[in-house]
A and B are shown apart, each in its own frame.
Chain A
Amino acid sequence: MLPELSHEEIHRYSRHLLIPDVGLQGQRALKAASVLIVGTGGLGSPVALYLAAAGIGRIGLVDYDVVDFSNLQRQIIHGESRLGDLKVESARDRMLDLNPEIQVDIYNEFLNSENAFKIAEPYDIIIDGTDNFPTRYLVNDLCVLTGKPNVYGSIYRFDGQASVFHAAEGPCYRCLFPEPPPPGLVPSCAEGGVLGVLPGTIGSIQATETLKLILGIGEPLIGRLLLYDALDLSFQTVKLQKNPDCKVCGENPEVTELIDYEEFCGIPAHDHGEGSAGEEWDITADDLAARLESGATLRLVDVREPHEREISNLAGAELIPLGQFASRLSELDSAEEIVLFCKAGTRSTRALEILASAGFKKVKNLKGGINAWALSVDPSLPIY
């Protein structure tokens, strides 16, 4: 039995009720539906706002983070008045302001293999709005193992992807990407940036697909991957097929329970970009400042992209962007003491790995990058 709509709800959802494909029955189905949104960041913001407005009866939000100033360029569900607040609380309050008829459940937790089944249990559909590979594989496997559809979206700079991975009816995320890229090969948005509007486009597509799945209308993106290029303004879909050898949804699955996804991907399940190469290889901003003050001869190597030097720069640093690092090793001398840095320490850790495997021993990673230097040594520099 679908729930009834009150007169107020009929008024509120009038523009839906006028569409024959939705109508009263469809709106009641939306009210009866429950969805879980993993991540309340760039993608989660438009997804949560549109699904709340559309009248999904029960929406769960999972996020462990707080609202940061650098989120507001794209995470439009939050606002300056909520800086430092829990993202799930900030998002819930905005959703209930938009539509107090719905129920919003919040999980101020890090989604992991221990809590994922319990958190996902009450929901029909899971929406992947996470920002890192470990959580994407976790959400995929969780959906395959529980038989729930995974409404997928992913973004980087000007590129977006969307699909519906529903193993009961088509391929899953692992059918397309059996293995994650090696750590450091694919930059995150915290390292590489993202156009603020891009998650608006992709998140809106995820919200659309969610409504279509609940209403049972149209052609869902099952078995298709949508590729969006904001610079060309092109949308393209490619066909995806189920991989019979898929480790989680194939004929002889190896993954029959949730695994350690940070280990599987070799990276932590967050996109804070606070890179550390390990205690032995790190130097803190304060220690570096003290070494330079005492007249130490150090070679400072900036592995960022050239345009980032216009934002902030360290005097005396030379530039070797990470992308050129392997081919420019001959410019460095393993007899010299070298300190590598980037924005926050992730790319410089990658560069350090390249140097260490080439036999360099006197090389350090500036922990937390130039942002840590700006924070604790030189406040005249901006943090980005």
Chain B
Amino acid sequence: MPTLKIPTPLRPYTSGESAITLPGKTVAELLQAAVQRHPELKKHLFNDDNQLRPFVNLFLKEENVNHLGGLDTPLAEEDTVLIIPSIAGG
């Protein structure tokens, strides 16, 4: 099953889990499974129209999924999808 890596700022919404391994044949399915397991995560990833928020960046094998197939990008069993957060500390 593919894995979704959760960055620190989003971990309060995943009960502290830093990586979630869930079934999903595409990026969209993996995200859907993640928000089903952690409903609090949903509003941080999706807006009210169920669109991915513009400051949420998803990467698969070093590439932004927007430059692959977007949310329909197919996932292999061993794939890891990274959420890259917007952080501002300095």
Contact = CB atoms under 8 A, between A and B. Distances in A.
B12 A321 contact: yes
Interface string A211-242: 00000000000000101000100001111110
Contact of A155 (B7, B40, B43, B87): B87
Interface in B48-82: 53-55, 57, 59, 62-64, 67, 82
B88 A188 contact: yes
A154 B88 contact: yes
A186 B88 contact: yes
Interface string B1-42: 000000111001100001000000000000000000001100
Contacts, number: 102
A278 interface: no
Given A177-B55, A238-B63, A239-B62, A187 B86 contact: no
Interface in A111-155: 128-133, 136, 153-155
Contacts of A379: none
B27 to A, nearest CB: 15
Given A158-B8, A176-B57, A181-B55, A153 B13 contact: no
Contact of B87 (A154, A238, A321, A323): A154
Contact of B64 (A186, A238, A326): A238
Nearest to A152: B90
Interface residues of B, number: 27
Nearest to B59: A238
A194 interface: yes
A319 to B, nearest CB: 14
Contact of B90 (A158, A192, A199, A240): A199
B40 A324 contact: yes
Name, among A181, A187, A189, the residue most crowded by chain B CB atoms within 10 Å (CB to CB).
A181
Nearest to A241: B67
Contacts of B90: 39, 41-44, 128-131, 153-155, 189, 199
Contacts of A133: 86, 88
A180 B86 contact: yes
A259 B61 CA distance: 35
B12 A131 contact: no
Nearest to B39: A327
Given A43-B90, A179-B54, A326-B40, A156 B9 contact: yes
Nearest to A156: B87
B44 A271 contact: no
Given A180-B55, A239-B63, A241-B64, A323 B12 contact: yes
5 contacts: A43-B90, A136-B88, A156-B9, A186-B86, A271-B89
CB-based closest 8 A-B pairs: A323-B12, A189-B89, A131-B90, A156-B87, A155-B89, A43-B90, A179-B54, A156-B89
Interface of A: 39, 41-44, 128-133, 136, 153-159, 161, 176-181, 185-189, 192, 194, 199, 225, 227, 231, 236-241, 271, 305, 321-324, 326-327
